[in-house]
Structure 1
Amino acid sequence: MANILVVDDEHGIRDLLSEILNDEGHNVELAENAAEAREARLRSRPDLVLLDIWMPDTDGVSLLKEWASAGVLTMPVIMMSGHATIDTAVEATRIGAHSFLEKPITLQKLLKAVEQALTRNAARKPTAVPGVPVSLDPGRTPAVEFMDNAPGQSAPPASALGPQSQQTFDLDKPLREARDGFEKAYFEFHLAQEGGSMTRVAEQTGLERTHLYRKLKQLGVELGKGKRA
């Protein structure tokens, strides 16, 4: 059982998600905008937040960025939207979102995303500074490093990390090139995590399979790389 905060400006969606999650044994608190979400996060310290992107006062990505900048993104956040683009989903993931759900949200996708987020959160120690760590070593161009450790394991030395465990991106590049590099690493990571299953990768990344195939082809991602032996 977990404490889950649902943030969405649509009354019907809040009620539907609350009913489903309550039936699963979770405690659910509701907020219809960013102001209420801020208060609820301080008051109840949720184990998980379901956060809508499009809201009237402050959009969900801006609220996520606010929490990350303030160092209070200690809980997994699942973003929700019916109109977001791949760029929005990638940006939210870069900031610190756990995953992205496209509306209308199916029961199976909702419960799977919630279970994965809660399991990963329980297996990891909270980080002191949430967000993306940036290396600022003297004499080198700043680079962003993304690491993902197996549940229950501490971070291994940098020399022991494989290509799916660590990715370093050169920030001294045009924006489009830097973004393409991140997106390629992002999809290769999920392909490896899901054993090359395009269905599960589509669910995890919030993309339709046709869009996903086009995106992977555009980025030059080798589909065979993700398949487990």
Structure 2
Amino acid sequence: MARILVVDDEVGIRELLSEILYDEGHTVDLAENAAAARALRAANRPDVVLLDIWMPDTDGVTLLKEWAAQDLLDMPVIMMSGHATIDTAVEATRIGAIDFLEKPITMTRLLKTIAGALERGRAGAKPAAPQAPARPAMPGYAPAPPTTGDGMRAPAPGLAPAVDRSAGAVAMHDNQPRSPLLSLSLDLPLREARDAFERVYFEHHLAREGGSMTRVADKTGLERTHLYRKLKQLGIELSRKRGV
């Protein structure tokens, strides 16, 4: 896979992009400003650079000009910004950037742009004019758990306890694992109860899909950028797969 340098002063953006790219098998270097980007560029030439335009010490366009002037612009550079004008994007492209990503960056657009950058990097192609980025779709939420024929709520798949209904009794067998849903309190405020349910829901799917974010996104019906944010919000830790 590729070595990708992410340069952005926002820690949340750096963490989000690094999680996504690690999950795709890439090696990722993170820089919070232009000084760190220079050092990482010198230590390990990246295959692709994701470079934010607006940074407090030196803006991305100035750093791009610096690399071009020093004949260091021998790797594809993709500019990023949440509020840059089209003139800024055109200027960056004229200097040597190959593309432009508008924040918030969708997963599909990010991976497609990086794939194109790697192809152009291998072919030594010249920069292309930036394309209008796709807007992220509004993510949905998982539907409420279905009910059984007797009106009782059906347990989540893979979490169902054994139930004994003989003689009209409903009892839990001690040798079966209890569902985490059974520990949820209905006395919690709605937001806390919803977060608790979502935590169980996503942990279940992560375990079931072996930690694959692609399959979990497909199963839960969420765009992967939103899925990463949701897991981070719920405090669910992810294991990183580091590529070479």
Do they superpose with TM above 0.5?
Answer: yes
Structure 1 residue aligned with 2:118: 118
Distance in 2 (CA, whole Å) between partners of 1:29 and 1:202 is 27
Choose which of 182, 202, 205 in structure 1 pairs with 2:132.
202
User: CA shift at 1:76, angstroms?
Assistant: 0.3
- Would you say 1:56 and 2:56 are equivalent positions? yes
Residue-pair matches, total: 135
TM-score (structure 1 length as normaliser): 0.56
1:12 Cα deviation from its structure 2 partner: 0.5
Residue 101 of structure 2 aligns to a residue in which SS? strand
| Larger relative strand fraction | 1
Deviations 1:34-76 (A, max 9, x none): 0000000000110110000000000000000000011110000
| Corresponding position: 1:40 with 2:34 | no
* 1:62-81 matches, cutoff 5 A: 62-81=62-81
- Amino acid in structure 2 at the alignment position of 1:18: S
Letter in 2 for 1:202: A
Please name the residue that 2:83 is paired with. 83
Distance in 2 separating the partners of 1:79 and 1:72: 16
Distance apart, 1:78 and its partner CA: 0.3
Query: Residue 51 of structure 1 aligns to a residue in which SS?
Result: strand
> 1:42 and 1:119 mapped to 2: Cα distance?
23
**Matched residues, percent identical?**
69
Aligned-residue RMSD, C-alpha? 2.0
- Give the equivalent residue in structure 2 for 1:24: 24
2:24 partner letter: E
**Cα distance, 1:123 vs structure 2:** 1.7
Q: Which one scores higher on RCO, CA 8 angstroms, separation ≥ 6?
A: 2
> Stretches of 4+ moved more than 6 A in 1?
none
Unmatched 5+ stretches in structure 2: 136-244
Q: Could you list the per-position Cα deviations for residues 20-42 of structure 1 after superposition, in whole angstroms to 9, with x for gaps in the alignment?
A: 00111100000000000000000
Aligned partner of residue 54 in structure 1, secondary structure: coil
Distance in 1, Cα, partners of 2:79 & 2:120: 16
Q: Deviations over 1:71-108 (max 9, x none)?
A: 11000000000010011000000000010000000001
What SS does the corresponding residue of 2:43 show, helix, strand or coil? Answer: helix
In structure 1, give the amino acid aligned to 2:4: I
How do 1:114-193 residues align onto structure 2 when only pairs under 5 Å count?
A: 114-124=114-124
| Alignment partners' CA distance in 2, 1:39 and 1:98 | 22
- Cα distance in 1 between the residues matched to 2:124 and 2:34: 27
What's the counterpart of residue 4 of structure 1?
4
SS in 2 for 1:202: coil
CA distance in 1 between partners of 2:82 and 2:118 (Å): 23
- Read off the aligned partner of 1:52 and give its amino acid letter: D
Q: d(CA) in 2 for partners of 1:124 and 1:45?
A: 15
Cα separation, 2, equivalents of 1:102 and 1:56: 19
Task: Give, in whole Å, the separation in 2 of the partners of 1:86 and 1:124.
Answer: 25
Q: Which runs of 5+ in 1 are unaligned?
A: 126-146, 149-185, 191-200, 208-229
Pick the structure with greater CA Rg.
2
Note the C-alpha offset of 1:124: 2.2
